[in-house]
Structure 1
């Protein structure tokens, strides 16, 4: 079963999209407006998965390296890159 990925960038100009409507699948209530995406949703799915694994390992880079089969320095560098990316997204 394919997951439908939430688009975060405009297919026309590549600007960040905003959410304009939320709806309840249970009662069909809809809320309309202009809502910005949370920072973590602006990240690609692969980086979101990295963050989830980081939390699930209790923040242990050693455990993440073991689970992913890459070296500790590789995981550390990836985390450092992700930190910089999140800082940039927060300032935009």
Structure 2
């Protein structure tokens, strides 16, 4: 079917929101078709926005700071979007562990700033310590 507009494959039934099954594949060059029941890629479950996020994340080679910069969003927002992608792909996200990690990071930041405030480290040392967190 050369020349026809291609649409994004839906992953949910428009009537009941159930998962759709791919039953027909067709060659866009010669029109040959294959019918059966085929597993769709788990990435087909992602929204267009989530697919774009995954592309940016991969292009940044998983560097969250680079993703933050490219999307102009905060670290917690990057983590939240990554968690949403993981959940959409069927993986369990341990929110308690993530919250504990965030609390620990905030405590380490506060300690660095407290040490700077007490004059125990220089501003340059504080900046270096904060960047390494």
State TM-score, norm by structure 1: 0.82
Alignment RMSD (CA, Å): 1.8
Deviations 1:6-65 (A, max 9, x none): 111111211111111111111211110011221110111111111111111111110110
Q: Which aligned runs of 4 or more in structure 1 are off by greater than 4 angstroms?
A: none
Q: Which residue of 1 aligns with 2:42?
A: 39
Please give the secondary structure, in 1, of the residue aligned with 2:36: strand
Higher RCO, 1 or 2 (CA under 8 Å, sep at least 6)?
Answer: 1
Q: Which residue of 1 aligns with 2:22?
A: 19
Please give the secondary structure, in 1, of the residue aligned with 2:31: coil
State TM-score, norm by structure 2: 0.59
Equivalent runs, 1:54-69 vs 2, <5 Å: 54-69=57-72
Q: Which residue of 1 aligns with 2:73?
A: 70
Gaps of 5+ in 1: none
Higher gyration radius (CA): 2
Give 1 or 2: higher helix fraction. 2
